[in-house]
Every structure is written in structure tokens, then in C-alpha cells.
Amino acid sequence: MERPRGGRQSHVVKSRRAISLPSLAALTTLLLAPGARACPLCAAGLRAQVHAAIFDGSFAETLAMTALPFGVLAAILAAILAGPRRGRGRRD
């Protein structure tokens, strides 16, 4: 008796895998959907409340406060890159 060829068999396995992966992804998405819908951050009003609190009148001020240390550090870095301007070299 002749055994089925490996090439044909692997082709069938590949096709099955190709079908099963999207199916598995779809099934996972469907299973996780109720969990995602139950997300407390997506619940009524909360997202809008957070958005309003972040982008209120103090947004620019808070952004400036968050960025300030990085501005100072960038200035120090620029000074290092440009190099300290020494008036005179070391003398023996």
C-alpha cells in the first residue's frame, strides 16, 4: 500500500491552520466582548467626566507644569552639547 505523500498532508494541515486562526480570533473577540462592554471606563458618563476634567481651563497650565522639568533638562543638554565656553585654557 502506498502512504499518502507528506507534501499533500502538510498542505491540508496548513489550510486547516489558515482557517482555524481567523476563527479562533473571531471566537476570542466574541468571548471577550461582554468583558469589554463591562469596562467601567466605558460606562455612562465617566469618560465624559474624565475628559472634561482633563481639558478644562487649567489644561495649558498643567501641561506647562509637566513639561517644565524637561524644558530645563533640554536646556542643560544643549549647553553640554554646545560646550562650556572657557575664557582661558589651563596654564602650566
Contact residues for another protein (CB under 8 A)? 40-41, 46, 49-50, 53-54, 62-63, 65-70, 72-74, 76-77, 80-81, 83, 86, 88-92
Q: Considering the complex, state which of residue 24 and residue 72 has its C-beta at the smaller distance from another protein.
A: 72
Instruction: Give dist(CA 51, CA 81) in Å, integer.
Output: 40
- Show Cβ contacts of residue 50 under 8 Å, excluding neighbours closer than 6 positions: 41
Q: Considering the complex, state which of residue 32 and residue 74 has its C-beta at the smaller distance from another protein.
A: 74
What type of residue sits at position 22? P
How near is the Cβ of 34 to another protein at its closest, in Å?
A: 20
Q: Considering the complex, state which of residue 1 and residue 81 has its C-beta at the smaller distance from another protein.
A: 81
- As a dihedral over the C-alpha atoms of residue 27, residue 28, residue 32, residue 33, rounded to 10 degrees, the angle is -40
How near is the Cβ of 33 to another protein at its closest, in Å?
A: 22
Instruction: Give dist(CA 77, CA 70) in Å, integer.
Output: 10
Q: Considering the complex, state which of residue 31 and residue 78 has its C-beta at the smaller distance from another protein.
A: 78
Q: What are 3's three cell numbers?
A: 502512504
